[in-house]
A and B are shown apart, each in its own frame.
Chain A
Amino acid sequence: MNGKDKIKVLYIDDEQNNLISFKAAFRFDYNIFVAINTTEAINHLKANPDISVILSDQKMPDKTGVEFFEEIRKEFPNPIRILITGYADIESVINAINRGHVYRYIKKPWSEDDIRSSIDQGYKFYVTTAMLAVKNEELQKAYNELDKFAYSATHDMRGPILSVLGIIDLAKHTDNLADVKEMMGMMENAMLKLDNYIQNLHDYYSIRRGEVEIADINFDDIVKDLSDIYEVTSKMNNVKFVKNVQQAETFRSDEVSIKIILNNLLSNAFKYQVKNNENKFVELDVNVAKGIANIVVKDNGIGIPENSINQIFNMFYRGNSEEVGSGFGLYNVKDALGKLNGKIDVVSSAEGTTFSIAIPNK
């Protein structure tokens, strides 16, 4: 174990000799911080927030160990507190437990084994509590997302279904065949929208719950796949698709995540074009160098309004009134990038939008 992995222990005692002998006895097993008074102890705690076990002498001139523990409990609630004392009367034991919330009580003169087992067990308790806090936070986040999801799902999944039911009601009272055919086209669009939403939902769960599978990434192949997907859209809407890949080195990452990221950005770039523009284009640049894949997706489309640019990565946020968005796309992009330790920047104006991504090699 090197110094970084050792358990960080703080020991407070007003007698210099005790500090020296404590450090001498345990410095190989733990990363020891010593303090001759409580002021010094608090400085150590501030500078080293990862100190996990604190041992304090009870009888000190400026304040007792119990008073010290009581005082720091608010600002530093996580470290495990152990009290060492030579005068073990029942009153001070009760105080220690009730006021200082100490984990252990060690009698002087202490034995090395006593200290060692107290620190080790205290540390286990510390780790468990810390992990519980992290898990609780994760759980809270999951609950919040679930609430949001339930709310949005009723709208985004029921929406197209209710529209179709509405048209069916209408079609029943329509005799003109041409009108009914027009309605059929509308129903088709509503169902395509629902299908798109469900596919996005599937992406969302593959990022969320799926394991990252690190493998060699060949960007030429990925871009080739994407060209095939967007070829039709590009031709139909008269949008020029410019691709540029430069990869001279091996790059390892998760292919599914990268595809989700590129697919969402490209689909947005093609979707939010200026309809009457003669020179519509979407540009995809991939440049892998020095262990980083720099990807740029650029378009000369309608741009993102300044007041919504901070919200575009939020789940279910839709910055545009066109009814095509699911509010999932960019959220999925950000989530996937998070898994790959990547970064994303966006610059947008009325002349178009540019997303720049950097993904490190794994």
Chain B
Amino acid sequence: MSQEKLNFIVVDDSKLDCFIAEKIIQNTGRCASVSTFQQANDALIYLRTMASNDIPTIIFVDIQMPVMNGFEFVESFETLPAERRSNFYIYMLSSSINENDIARVKGYSSVKQFLNKPLTSSTINHVLEQF
């Protein structure tokens, strides 16, 4: 099994949760780079302007954020040109146990999976098995 290095992007309004995600990602040993954003809009600007990515990039995005929430982020992401969107894998995270939110995640083709918070080393290792 190839142990390819990956890029990571974390979008979460909680500084603390960004920190946790960053540390856990670094601990996996699969991390080529990790960028964290507390505002979804900043992450979008980054995605629009970043140089093309030749290695897979995993995006962890929180659902409940003020100003631009996780769903709005994914909707904006889906309007990007197809070549910009390739090689990105989005995972949505939430602390809510709201069935509607979980069902809504399934409606987005660009979202791979819904994950419960907190992001732990075992959750992330499970995700990484697919890459």
Contact = CB atoms under 8 A, between A and B. Distances in A.
Interface of A: 151, 154-155, 158-159, 162-163, 165-167, 169-170, 173, 186, 189-190, 308, 317-321, 323, 325, 327
Interface in B23-49: 23-24, 27, 38-39
Contacts of B87: none
A321 B119 contact: no
Across chains A and B, which 8 residue pairs bring their CB atoms closest together, nearest first?
A166-B118, A318-B66, A166-B20, A162-B118, A158-B95, A162-B117, A163-B16, A154-B96
Contacts of B118: 162-163, 165-166, 169
B22 to A, nearest CB: 10
Nearest to B15: A323
Contact of A321 (B27, B67, B96): B67
A186 B17 CA distance: 10
A321 B16 contact: no
B39 A321 contact: yes
Interface string B4-19: 0000000001111101
Main SS at interface, chain B: loop
A320 B66 CA distance: 7
Given A170-B27, A320-B67, A321-B66, 10 more contacts: A151-B98, A158-B96, A162-B118, A189-B16, A190-B16, A318-B67, A321-B39, A321-B67, A323-B13, A325-B66
Interface in B45-79: 64-67
Contacts, number: 70
Contacts of B65: 321
Contacts of B15: 323
A298 B64 CA distance: 30
Interface in B81-131: 94-98, 117-121
Contacts of A151: 96, 98
B60 to A, nearest CB: 12
B39 A162 contact: no
B95 A155 contact: yes
Contacts of A154: 95-98
19 contacts: A155-B64, A155-B94, A155-B95, A158-B96, A158-B117, A162-B117, A163-B14, A166-B17, A166-B24, A169-B118, A186-B19, A308-B67, A317-B66, A318-B67, A319-B67, A320-B67, A321-B13, A323-B15, A323-B16
A335 to B, nearest CB: 20
A323 B39 CA distance: 11
Contacts of A163: 14, 16-17, 20, 118
Nearest to A318: B66
Contacts of A162: 95, 117-118
B95 A159 contact: yes
A305 to B, nearest CB: 9
A154 B39 CA distance: 21
